[in-house]
């Protein structure tokens, strides 16, 4: 059956998840572009501001494994709703902060509340998209996140100039609360539960999937003995270190490091994030095409990811060789775009090797990514204060190399847990993590293995 004639409800939800991820990152970039007025009003230093970002990421990574458990228990629909409402509430409370102590407390709770978002989205896509479309689906998830900084900086900087940084957080709260209601009313965990999904579209989504009883618990002992499980963590640690530096410190670096006026910071920041929005969409499309042509997930996922990080590390170093603001922003933008390749396809790898344990593997991977994200906001200004921003950029490039090593070591053609018949196919229907799993192979025997990856 032609995929184009089978229905498009799944892609409508792909766009909806894109919007949700946009709002999630809009709330984060609101904090970033508010750096100068917020620090002035609360009388805090850049290092203290970085600490507020660090506690957000501590809350975020500390709740990753519990988020995976939540998704397994209630499904991605309700896990996403809980996250949406929780992070929107704490976004609003950020605008009420009147001291460093209150700011730290609210930001830590904000991070904890937002923890289930991307694992929920990834699990939702594992249910709603076949393997041949999952690269593009995850690209939409990540494109939505990066649209936050790309569009948000342009929208928020003038708005904050008019209504103040506190008013900006209130607007973000109201937007998130509205989207929560719409998501609960429209979304369902599985396409079979949605009235608008016809039989033909269900057939496309479920094509090639096995129907077997679902496991009730994640086999953590097997996972922790797996090379791929740890390598994916290393890969995402290196990737998120680079990406989160841009998210939290690019606006401030442009203003204080390169002397860009605050009124123009939004434009330069947006230009960099437009590049990564385009790059993640290209990554998803290219990955799916390579997968269809070769049947190799390693080529389609890992090679593209590590190539992106090679570009990122190289362009980060090149950005330190110029005194020109436009040229420096160009190199930084290309670096961010390269990291976008890796971030997008890492989520697809988590589904490829996690199968019925997509939520568990995705949460594990994301936890290590945000351990990096918890370190970089405080390390960057402290290192810049002592050695200058060139040292910070060089460190970012070095950590990107760790991500390259991680992607080289992940066996994405082999699932972490093989099927009892040795086919390498994961369980598929009604799994305990709220996903149908993704026991789908493009070519028989490609990923067969009876041992952990």
Find the range with the poorest average confidence among 56-70, 129-143, 311-325, 426-440: 426-440
pLDDT (tens digit per residue) in 254-295? 777 777 777 777 788 888 888 998 999 999 899 999 998 998
pLDDT (tens digit per residue) in 323-335? 888 888 899 999 9
Find the range with the poorest average confidence among 1-10, 20-29, 56-65, 369-378: 1-10
Q: In the predicted model, is pLDDT for residue 106 greater than 90? A: yes
Q: Read off the pLDDT of each residue in 74-95 and give the average, rounded to a whole number.
A: 93
Domains and CATH numbers, the chain: 8-207+220-409 (1.20.1250.20)
Q: Read off the pLDDT of each residue in 429-443 and give the average, rounded to a whole number.
A: 42
Q: Read off the pLDDT of each residue in 61-81 and give the average, rounded to a whole number.
A: 90
267 versus 42: the higher-pLDDT residue is: 42
Q: Mind spelling out the 3-state secondary structure of the chain?
A: CCHHHCCCHHHHHHHHHHHHHHHHHHHHHHHHHCHHHHHHHHCCCHHHHHHHHHHHHHHHHHCHHHHHHHHHHHHHHHHHHHHHHHHHHHHHHHCCCCCHHHHHHHHHHHHHHHCCHHHHHHHHHHHHCCHHHHHHHHHHHHHHHHHHHHHHHHHHHHHHHHHHHHHHHHHHHHHHHHHHHHHHHHCCCCHHHCCCCCHHHHHHHHCCCCCCCCCCCCCHHHHHCCHHHHHHHHHHHHHHHHHHHHHHHHHHHHHHHCCCCHHHHHHHHHHHHHHHHHHHHHHHHHHHHHHHHHCCHHHHHHHHHHHHHHHHHHHHHHHCCCCCHHHHHHHHHHHHHHHHHHHHHHHHHHHHHHHHHHHHHHHHHHHHHHHHHHHHHHHHHHHHHHHCHHHHHHHHHHHHHHHHHHHHHCCCCCCCCCCCCCCCCCCCCCCCCCCCCCCCCCCCCCCCCCCCC
pLDDT computed for residue 136 by the predictor = 87
Q: In the predicted model, is pLDDT for residue 180 greater than 60? A: yes
Q: In the predicted model, is pLDDT for residue 235 greater than 80? A: yes
pLDDT computed for residue 356 by the predictor = 82
């Amino acid at each position: 059956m032609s995929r184009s004639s089978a229905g498009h409800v799944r892609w409508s939800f792909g766009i909806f998840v894109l919007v949700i991820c946009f709002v999630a990152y809009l709330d984060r970039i609101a904090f970033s572009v508010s750096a100068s007025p917020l620090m002035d009003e609360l009388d805090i230093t850049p290092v203290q501001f970085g600490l507020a970002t660090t506690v957000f990421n501590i809350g975020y990574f500390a709740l990753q494994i519990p988020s995976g458990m939540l998704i397994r228990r209630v499904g991605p629909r309700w896990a996403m709703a809980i996250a949406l409402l929780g992070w929107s509430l704490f976004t609003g409370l950020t605008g009420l902060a009147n001291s460093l102590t209150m700011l730290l407390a609210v930001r830590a709770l904000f991070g904890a509340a937002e923890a289930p978002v991307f694992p929920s989205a990834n699990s939702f896509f594992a249910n709603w998209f076949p393997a041949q479309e999952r690269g593009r689906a995850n690209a939409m998830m990540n494109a939505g996140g990066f649209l936050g900084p790309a569009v948000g900086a342009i929208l928020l900087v003038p708005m904050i100039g008019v209504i103040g940084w506190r008013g900006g957080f209130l607007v973000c709260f109201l937007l998130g609360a509205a989207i929560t209601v719409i998501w609960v009313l429209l979304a369902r965990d599985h396409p079979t539960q949605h009235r608008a999904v016809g039989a033909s579209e269900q057939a496309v989504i479920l094509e090639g999937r096995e129907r077997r009883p679902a496991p009730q618990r994640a086999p953590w002992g097997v996972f922790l003995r797996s090379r791929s499980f740890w390598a994916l963590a290393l890969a995402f640690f290196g990737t998120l270190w680079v990406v989160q530096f841009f998210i939290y410190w690019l606006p401030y670096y442009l203003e204080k490091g390169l002397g860009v006026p605050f009124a123009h910071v939004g434009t330069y920041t947006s230009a960099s994030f437009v590049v990564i929005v385009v790059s993640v969409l290209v990554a998803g499309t290219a990955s799916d095409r390579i997968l269809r042509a070769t049947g190799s997930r390693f080529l389609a996922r890992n090679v593209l990811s590590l190539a992106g990080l090679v570009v990122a590390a190289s362009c980060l170093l090149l950005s330190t060789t110029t005194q020109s603001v436009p040229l420096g922003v160009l190199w930084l933008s290309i670096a961010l775009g390269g990291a976008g390749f890796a971030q997008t396809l890492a989520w697809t790898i988590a589904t490829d090797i996690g199968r019925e344990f997509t939520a568990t593997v995705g949460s594990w991977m994301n936890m290590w990514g945000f351990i990096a994200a918890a370190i970089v906001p405080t390390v960057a200004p402290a290192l810049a204060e002592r050695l200058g921003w060139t040292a910070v950029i060089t460190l970012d490039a070095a950590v990107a190399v760790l991500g390259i090593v991680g992607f080289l070591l992940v066996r994405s053609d082999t699932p972490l847990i093989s099927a009892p018949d040795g086919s390498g196919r994961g369980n598929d229907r009604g799994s305990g993590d709220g996903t149908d799993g993704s026991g789908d192979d493009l070519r028989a025997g490609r990923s067969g293995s009876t041992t952990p990856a």
